[in-house]
Structure 1
Amino acid sequence: MIALSMRLLRLGGRRAWSAAGLVGAGVAVATTLLAVALGALHGLDARESRTGWRTPAAASPEETPMALLRARTDQVAGRALEQIDLVDPRPDAAPPPGLPRMPLVGELWVSPALADLLRTLPAGELADRYPTATPAGVLGEAGLTRPDELVAVVGRPAGDPVLTAPGPSDVVPVGSFDRTEADTTVAGIYRQLTYVAVALMVVPIASLLGASARLTAARRVERLATLRLLGASTRQVTVTAVAEVTAVATVAAVVGVAAQWLLAPALAHISIAGGGWFAADLRPSPLVSVAIVAGVAVLATGAAIGGLRQVVVSPLGVARRQQPQHARLIRLLGLVGGLAVFWIAIVASQGGPAAVAGLIFGVGVLALFGSVSLIGPLIVRVLGRSMTGRARSVPALLAGRRLLDDPKGAFRPLAGLTLAVFVAGFLAPLTTVIAGEVGADDGVLVLQAPAAQADRVAAAASARLATLGVAARIGPVTAAGGPGGTAETGVSAETGVSAETGVSAETGTTAASGPASPGNPGNPDGSGARGTEDIVAVPVLPENPADRDRVRTALAPLTPGSLVLTRAEADDEEIVLVEDLRRGTLVVLVATFLIAATATGTAAAARVLDHRRPLRLLRLAGTPLAMLDRARWAETVLPLLVLGGVALALGLLCASPFASAVLVFSPSGLGLLGGVLVAGVALVAATSAASRPLLRSVTAGPGRED
């Protein structure tokens, strides 16, 4: 029977190949997007496996550490520079990934991108920050996050000031670079967010696969019913029906995975967590790729079997059109169940391990997604009954009857758009929250110094910048802000007392005490990075923003071991995360609409083929094609608006743990929802126009049934 199915496909002519091509295109698009999402997860894991050595687990008290490590983020040329200081490194110890040996005291190892900057930038902007201007070597890919990452690994002597310099990062005694801290860093946050993004796309992809598989089923349902009447067994008909869909879906899935592999170099330019990717990181492993192809083939096969269930059970029912697809009220239980699962997932994700919080929340999102798909046909049925009873025109009556007779089939072309509205409802209030998280960089560089030395540091900074010919405003001294601090660090030419911090510029003292942080060891014995002195900030504002790197490089020696950063630069990791959230919401929304567009077009074509006989009979009875087109429009727009409203409400519910629903009325929220509505209506119009030639074809004369 498989050979028969392949023969029917091969000899089916232009229509058979066209339908198979549409199925293959839909499956290939869905598979490519799924592979991209899973490739992002693979890339995050690959990144973390290469850079976990920068956050090693502390050596046990019984171990002799191979070095004291402190990882911090500096800035140069407007880019983040990861600086890894290894204090008192043991030359015979196993080196971190990417290095052939442990750096010696006074040595500098850099990434390829930083090596290029050292060659191109003046020494006063970069090289003078390090013990030597000539790197001992270049880090390999095994120790880098991405090709363009800026990384400096510096060997420091025992007791170096970097151990006690103020800042938010810890000094860790390293027992082994193979033992890293648990996944509680920003990388873990990205992974959890990716889980949610995958969940947001899984159901639309499944809907697209189902629509694609049903296109072939609709085309061949009568031919298979004929085989059933001629004596073919249930198994034979099932194998014949499914073989074509499975073959086409499998080939298309392979094409989709291959397309993702070919697109990986282009996808690698998408900036996430501060930069691009290694192309190989974005390619799922061969095992995952095989699993994607197998999963897509299984989903397509299941959709084909579901679409041919009536053929297997009752071929006469197919021929006589006596099996309308009812949508029963029991589907409301699916909504109740989805809400219950979502509530359980919220509770579990908030109280469970952080490493699986995103995965658990994704399960809740899938539950709400499933609820939309379950109650969709029921809503369509109710609308069909209402339209039929209130119809005042022929198109309205035709539309109402078609909705009432086949609510499941009427919902399928709208499923993708409905789920896209759900995603927009989820993301709309979040965009408002994200937009409010990004602050502007005021350009004020901060030197953190002990309070007793603040005036001396400010005077030395002024003298040094004057020698370099750099114009800048310095002062007043404030409580430590910027890197590792919380207070404001305004710049003023006047002296006096800061109202925000209570720090006197005349005395350089602070009213607050700054005890050492117990989790921030900085002395060789791990007693605390800040020591027991109060730390104050000396703000410096270069008049020319282009002098920022010269100023930070020139002033760094005044507070040995410290980094000279603005508050925005000190919060660079958080700012990058917020920007990535904004970019990620756009990517997920665009991907969802791409899936929705493909699914809507495919399902609309399948629906025309499902109803080709009654449509043909209406044309033979004298019904104008334009009237049939208006009926199709009527049976689409009203259900889309109602279903969109329900999906929007559930999407806002899904976002409620993170943002208030009222934020949807903010300019960014309304803009997003308005764009989704306009795009949805435009997509429906485009789909109707695209399927009009098919409608004309199937209604123009007796023709063939497939």
Structure 2
Amino acid sequence: MNLDLTWRLIKGGGRKGMLGTWLTFGAVAVATALLLFAVAANFAFQARAERGAWRNPVPATTGAVAVEAQRFDFVRDQKITVIDLAALKGADPEAPPGLPRFPAPGEVWLSPALAELADELPAAELAARYPKRAGVIGDEALVYPGELVAVFGQAPDAPAMTAPRLDDWVMSRPPVKVASLAGEPSEDAVAYQWLSAIAGVLMVVPLLVFGGAAARLTVARRDRRLAALRLVGATPGQVVAMTVTEAVLVALAGALTGAVVYALSVPLLTRIEMQGGPWFAGDLLPGPLLLAGALVAVPLLVGLSAVAGLRRVVVSPLGVAKRETPPAMRIFRVLALFAALAVFPLLSRETSVTLIAIALALAFLCLNLAGPWVVGVIGRIAAKSARAPAGLLAARRLVDDPRSAWRTVSGVALTGFVAGFLGLLSPGAFEEVTGPPQLSVSVTEGKLAEVAGQARDRLKEAGVTATVEPRDKAVVAALGSSADAATLDRARTALAGLVPGHTPTTQEEGRRFGSEILADIRVGTIVVLSVSFLVAITSSGITAMSSVLDRRQTYGLLRLAGTPLEVLDKARRSETLIPLTVMGGGAILTGVFCGLPFMLGEPNVTGALTLAVCVVAGFAGVVGAGALSRPLLRSVTTDPAPRPD
């Protein structure tokens, strides 16, 4: 019975009533698709960390079966991960991931992309580094598609496994005796998981707020309709049941559509390069539990949000029907925000990710809680200072229904918080290395002259012109100013194995990880802000249209009373731009305050530009999204006798 009555009421609202239902459907679909992306990204980084864990060995306390070491090589400005493996005498270690068996001494296994590149380039530039290729590594051993990986089989007493290596985390990890190749996530993988968790909070909380707000679209029209039912005898239980049924059915349909949209978007999302390369589609596809959780959580959130707004309908249906102004909100909303912000000066980059994520989530939620109260204050100030009819209409609207006005600008305000927080974290760039390329190989003391002589002979034999000299516990080969990428790779191949366990690298390659993680932070910033702005603009457009539908009778009566359409449209714009200016700026400052403990050095031009672009894009997006509701405003005011809801 409730389902039948709910469906009749939805259809009874006419074409514009159904438009409100479609707006809720669209809002939930967008929120679900972006929520799946935000959560799946965290699982994707975890999957990468697990696939790469075998390269980061855990030293064996007992029962060692193999020796493992790692270093990095380069070709054409691309990083090659090189793993040296040696089975201990009498041991039978398990096969590494992606290999059919443990590599024998002298064998080399290459990833598909590296094998293809070795076949494409001249042998003197790459293939000569791998004289005995035994096969191809499977994808289960790769962090991302197209990764360049080489696995060398070594004897346990080979120089590559016994010679001392630098343990600098970035370029080389010394040989370690291991009981298995299970390993653990590397420090860089943990760092990326840390960053993805923070980014997840910055995306998920606004999405949950947006999803909850979806249940409140066209809320005034629905509340008046339900209040009328209460006045003719409907019980509170029937009102709640009808509301939940309508909200959950629309939300479930929207959530299913959002899941489909996200699944169709995965091939495009895999092209976002981070941590060295793109993504496997399986990493970004939501698992059954995540998908089921989203399809249950989103409709549940929408249903709870809809029920939470029924208090006045159930308790005072006559007041709703008469459109009485609800009681003013309490100042505790702002006090809660101040309490949440008081936590941030106590945090630092050494604080656990969990605590930082909780603090950010609380700041987000308290900002959303304080927003309507501040909008109400803004409305009262604007009403006292109004000098034109449009300004007065806008101010009275802000005072009468600050929650609805906040929903229109909340997306951009929360995005301003994200922009302010990330603006301080946007790193600068390393200074570029100028001059001819130089290859450097670390050498133990006492052998500098010997290794330098060997380097000269190898480079001469390879036809590479270079000046070789010992320098600071290393042999440095300075190539000519005319050296190109091919010459550099020929020189690198000629020097391969010169010092066992050490790779010839340039100064730029020596800080490759630092440059890579800074670039990835910038990419992550763009992704997070893109999601936030998509939520903000979608939220602004949908809530602006639903606000017009909520007040279509009021707009129609004002037009019948002679109010020009231009005045109504200007009032509609003002009730968005006035709180947006105050709340957007306040949210940005709040984000900056929360980001202070995590600054990466001094503020830089990149961060300032990020903030400036966000401010411009935010205002332009809201104005553009709001303009879409102008035709609807014209439509609802053309009826000379507006029908009551």
What is the TM-score normalised by the length of structure 1?
A: 0.85
Match of 1:436 among 429, 434, 437: 429
1:378 aligned onto 2:379:
no
Cα distance in 1, alignment partners of residues 463 and 186 from structure 2 = 45
> Which residue number corresponds to residue 317 of structure 2?
315
> Which residue number corresponds to residue 669 of structure 1?
607
Go from structure 1 to structure 2 and tell me whether the alpha carbon gap of 1:120 and 1:438 turns closer, same or farther (over 3 Å shift): same
What root-mean-square deviation, in Å, do the aligned CA atoms of Structure 1 and Structure 2 show?
A: 2.2
Give the counterpart letter for 1:302 in structure 2. Answer: L
> Which residue number corresponds to residue 107 of structure 2?
107
- Give the conservation status (yes or no) of the 8 Å contact 2:243–2:306: yes
Go from structure 1 to structure 2 and tell me whether the alpha carbon gap of 1:705 and 1:274 turns closer, same or farther (over 3 Å shift): farther
Cα distance in 2, alignment partners of residues 636 and 40 from structure 1 = 33
Go from structure 1 to structure 2 and tell me whether the alpha carbon gap of 1:184 and 1:274 turns closer, same or farther (over 3 Å shift): closer
> Which residue number corresponds to residue 284 of structure 1?
286
> Which residue number corresponds to residue 628 of structure 2?
690
Give the counterpart letter for 2:113 in structure 1. Answer: A
- Once the two structures are superposed, residues 470-520 of structure 1 have per-residue CA deviations (whole angstroms, 9 ceiling, x without a partner) of 233334x321xxxxxxxxxxxxxxxxxxxxxxxxxxxxxxxxxxxxxxxxx
Cα distance in 2, alignment partners of residues 612 and 440 from structure 1 = 64
- Once the two structures are superposed, residues 545-570 of structure 1 have per-residue CA deviations (whole angstroms, 9 ceiling, x without a partner) of 22111101101243233211113213
1:459 aligned onto 2:453:
yes
- Once the two structures are superposed, residues 242-266 of structure 1 have per-residue CA deviations (whole angstroms, 9 ceiling, x without a partner) of 2122111112112222222222222
- Once the two structures are superposed, residues 369-423 of structure 1 have per-residue CA deviations (whole angstroms, 9 ceiling, x without a partner) of 1222122222222221111112211112112211122222221111111111111
Go from structure 1 to structure 2 and tell me whether the alpha carbon gap of 1:416 and 1:631 turns closer, same or farther (over 3 Å shift): same
> Which residue number corresponds to residue 74 of structure 1?
73
CA apart distance, 1:698: 2.6
- Once the two structures are superposed, residues 54-102 of structure 1 have per-residue CA deviations (whole angstroms, 9 ceiling, x without a partner) of 1121111x32x22110011111222111110013456732112211111
Cα distance in 2, alignment partners of residues 277 and 393 from structure 1 = 56
CA apart distance, 1:171: 1.4
> Which residue number corresponds to residue 170 of structure 2?
none
Cα distance in 2, alignment partners of residues 393 and 282 from structure 1 = 53
Is 593-602 or 606-615 further displaced after alignment? 606-615
Give the counterpart letter for 1:364 in structure 2. Answer: A
- Once the two structures are superposed, residues 529-557 of structure 1 have per-residue CA deviations (whole angstroms, 9 ceiling, x without a partner) of xxxxxx33424335312211110110124
Go from structure 1 to structure 2 and tell me whether the alpha carbon gap of 1:619 and 1:36 turns closer, same or farther (over 3 Å shift): same
1:43 aligned onto 2:40:
no
Say which SS state the counterpart of residue 505 (structure 2) adopts.
coil
Go from structure 1 to structure 2 and tell me whether the alpha carbon gap of 1:687 and 1:610 turns closer, same or farther (over 3 Å shift): same
Say which SS state the counterpart of residue 435 (structure 1) adopts.
coil
- Give the conservation status (yes or no) of the 8 Å contact 2:373–2:402: yes
1:361 aligned onto 2:363:
no
Go from structure 1 to structure 2 and tell me whether the alpha carbon gap of 1:451 and 1:545 turns closer, same or farther (over 3 Å shift): farther
- Give the conservation status (yes or no) of the 8 Å contact 1:208–1:416: yes
Which blocks of at least 5 consecutive residues in structure 2 are unaligned?
168-172
- Once the two structures are superposed, residues 306-327 of structure 1 have per-residue CA deviations (whole angstroms, 9 ceiling, x without a partner) of 3333222222222211133523
CA apart distance, 1:13: 4.6
1:398 aligned onto 2:400:
no
Cα distance in 2, alignment partners of residues 312 and 20 from structure 1 = 22
1:586-625 equivalent positions in 2, closer than 5 A = 586-625=526-565
> Which residue number corresponds to residue 544 of structure 1?
483
> Which residue number corresponds to residue 299 of structure 1?
301
1:85 aligned onto 2:89:
no
CA apart distance, 1:685: 1.8
CA apart distance, 1:581: 0.5
Cα distance in 1, alignment partners of residues 600 and 159 from structure 2 = 46
Give the counterpart letter for 1:688 in structure 2. Answer: G
Say which SS state the counterpart of residue 94 (structure 1) adopts.
coil
1:98-247 equivalent positions in 2, closer than 5 A = 98-130=98-130, 132-133=131-132, 135-163=133-161, 164-168=163-167, 169-178=173-182, 180-181=183-184, 183=185, 185-247=187-249
Say which SS state the counterpart of residue 446 (structure 2) adopts.
helix
Is 461-470 or 5-14 further displaced after alignment? 5-14
How many equivalent pairs are there? 633
| Percent identity between the two aligned chains | 41
CA apart distance, 1:464: 2.9
Cα distance in 2, alignment partners of residues 69 and 195 from structure 1 = 31
> Which residue number corresponds to residue 562 of structure 1?
502
- Give the conservation status (yes or no) of the 8 Å contact 1:214–1:606: no
> Which residue number corresponds to residue 504 of structure 1?
none
Cα distance in 2, alignment partners of residues 337 and 413 from structure 1 = 25
CA apart distance, 1:165: 4.7
Go from structure 1 to structure 2 and tell me whether the alpha carbon gap of 1:363 and 1:636 turns closer, same or farther (over 3 Å shift): same
- Give the conservation status (yes or no) of the 8 Å contact 1:53–1:96: yes
Cα distance in 1, alignment partners of residues 316 and 48 from structure 2 = 55
Go from structure 1 to structure 2 and tell me whether the alpha carbon gap of 1:682 and 1:643 turns closer, same or farther (over 3 Å shift): same
Say which SS state the counterpart of residue 361 (structure 2) adopts.
helix
Cα distance in 2, alignment partners of residues 440 and 580 from structure 1 = 20
> Which residue number corresponds to residue 275 of structure 1?
277
- Give the conservation status (yes or no) of the 8 Å contact 2:49–2:189: yes
CA apart distance, 1:110: 1.4
- Once the two structures are superposed, residues 32-63 of structure 1 have per-residue CA deviations (whole angstroms, 9 ceiling, x without a partner) of 11111211112122222222111121111x32
- Give the conservation status (yes or no) of the 8 Å contact 2:345–2:597: no
CA apart distance, 1:151: 1.0
Cα distance in 1, alignment partners of residues 434 and 517 from structure 2 = 16
Cα distance in 1, alignment partners of residues 333 and 424 from structure 2 = 29
- Give the conservation status (yes or no) of the 8 Å contact 1:325–1:408: no
Give the counterpart letter for 1:295 in structure 2. Answer: A
CA apart distance, 1:175: 0.4
> Which residue number corresponds to residue 519 of structure 2?
579
1:28-67 equivalent positions in 2, closer than 5 A = 28-60=29-61, 62-63=62-63, 65-67=64-66
Cα distance in 1, alignment partners of residues 388 and 145 from structure 2 = 64
CA apart distance, 1:11: 6.4
Is 394-403 or 438-447 further displaced after alignment? 438-447
- Give the conservation status (yes or no) of the 8 Å contact 2:39–2:204: no
Match of 1:255 among 254, 257, 280: 257
- Give the conservation status (yes or no) of the 8 Å contact 2:45–2:196: no
> Which residue number corresponds to residue 449 of structure 1?
443
Give the counterpart letter for 2:147 in structure 1. Answer: E
What is the TM-score normalised by the length of structure 2?
A: 0.93
- Give the conservation status (yes or no) of the 8 Å contact 2:467–2:479: yes
Cα distance in 2, alignment partners of residues 382 and 316 from structure 1 = 27
Cα distance in 1, alignment partners of residues 362 and 229 from structure 2 = 39
Go from structure 1 to structure 2 and tell me whether the alpha carbon gap of 1:10 and 1:628 turns closer, same or farther (over 3 Å shift): closer
